[in-house]
Amino acid sequence: MSDNAPQRPDGLNDTPGMQPRVQVEPTPAHPADATQVNKTTEMPGAGAHAAEHAAGHAAPHTETVSRTVVKTKTKGFPIFLSSLAGLAVGAVLVIALVMTGALNIDRGGSVTAATPDSTTQSIEIDPEDTTLAETVAAKALPSVVSISTEIDSSSSMAGGSSGSSGNIGSGVILDTDGNILTNNHVVEGATSIVVTLDDGSSFEAELVGADSSSDLAVIKLTNADGASLTPIEIGDSDDLSVGEWVMAIGSPFGNEQSVSTGIVSALYRSTALSSTSGTSIYANMIQTDAAINPGNSGGALVNDQGELIGINSVIESYSGSSSGVGFAIPVNYAKNIADQIIAGKTPVHSYLGVTLTSVNAWNARQNNLAVDSGAYVNEVVADGPAAQAGIQQGDIITAVNDEAITSADGLIIAIREHEVGEKVTLTVMRGTEEQQVEVTLGSDEALQAEQQDATEGNGSGGNNMTEEQFLQYLQELMGGGMR
């Protein structure tokens, strides 16, 4: 993966030689006589991990900065009159806005926020000295947690080295039972999970379930008093507009309860990224310029009402740190997956029922294909959605609902953008003839069960391949294997 490709801001890794410059404890300490530490920001690499070194005591030094100030004479009286006139016009405008209701000033001095479990939090706000960011942060911060994990480095996931490592990420409180929504890559492979709340208290947590395909997971506090939890208010990610104000909340580089603000830069961004457990498909993501860094993963993206609209998950950067291009999984999708996990179900996704190869200029020429881009259908699953719609082996899918498809990955992502049971129209090249085929998307539940059985059967995590399977995989990866 190139340095500027989208990547997950995985959080901080505690492996030797890869430590943050500023030591972060699970519960930040605030000594009365804090020592000043010289901090140097180091850009993380593609794994989005920051390097940690012991901070030395630098000798104090004095810096003298010279500035040249150019003064000009002004005529004070005309400026005074202009200022006075401006103040008068401004006062009239404010009074008019208040009287018409366009400027809504809360004279009560407090805001009461309802949560999904009918608990409320009363926040005292001074209407004379309040900004939007302060109000939203006061409401949403108690619902966002910091997550630290330990991973057994002797496992294959950690590369086989001895010792232990871990990640720091974020999560969002869903209910007073202690269920917390986060990214799968924050807690994947964790042998222990510790959650730190907004008030600094820490609790152990256990994994309820995960969906690596969507990079979402739910963990649950094991010994927390439900009355001390503040579930976040859920918004509607289908109701977002480009340019809308947003706030990202999480623990960037382990700095707990940090906020950053920005706007919705774009909607419906999609990509697929490889992980230790397969490929995670990120469909219809929210793009934002609010700063998202390693450690923000699993944290909240909220709107100007303090409502959760997304789970911060991916950044696009040359350095691995924030470059103003971050992405969040829409809350409508994330909450649906979380609800299935909490209910003990296997999360399901839309399913077409085909195996695919990407079409490119080289294999199109080699196989005399009518087009040089698209998704070539290698096989059609019997009785699957594609088979029932009449899709055949050898077809090339070039569009979904008139949106161009240029590769197999592109088709997989496009299908994931739709719901189980939804109808989509595929543009198909069959030989030299273009056709429109309507398909009702199915569920991949049976496929997931089959893969799980295979994994348990060989005891290998499902990653062992025979030589023949590996060669077939390479053929498909390079655009070959067409029959």
User: Which residue is catalytic, options 10, 14, 146, 185?
Assistant: 185
From residue 304, alpha-carbon distances to 136, 223, 258, 349 in Å are 6, 33, 17, 31
From residue 332, alpha-carbon distances to 239, 309, 419 in Å are 10, 8, 12
Non-local (6+) Cβ contacts of 3 within 8 A are 46, 318, 319, 320
Q: Are 477 and 356 in contact (CB under 8 A)?
A: no
Q: Are 184 and 210 in contact (CB under 8 A)?
A: yes
215 part of the active site: yes
Residue count of the chain, please give it.
Answer: 483
Non-local (6+) Cβ contacts of 86 within 8 A are none
User: Which residue is catalytic, options 143, 146, 260, 297?
Assistant: 297
What is the chain's Cα-based Rg?
27
d(CA 322, CA 317): 7
The helix/strand count (H/E) of the chain reads as: 9, 24
395 part of the active site: no
Comparing CA positions, the residue from 210, 160, 454 lying closest to residue 338 is: 210
Chain-centre distance for alpha carbon 104: 33
122 part of the active site: no
Non-local (6+) Cβ contacts of 71 within 8 A are none
Question: Tokens standing for 11?
Answer: 């959080």
User: Which residue is catalytic, options 14, 215, 395, 444?
Assistant: 215
Q: Are 231 and 173 in contact (CB under 8 A)?
A: yes
Comparing CA positions, the residue from 413, 301, 416, 429 lying closest to residue 374 is: 429
Active site residues: 185, 215, 297
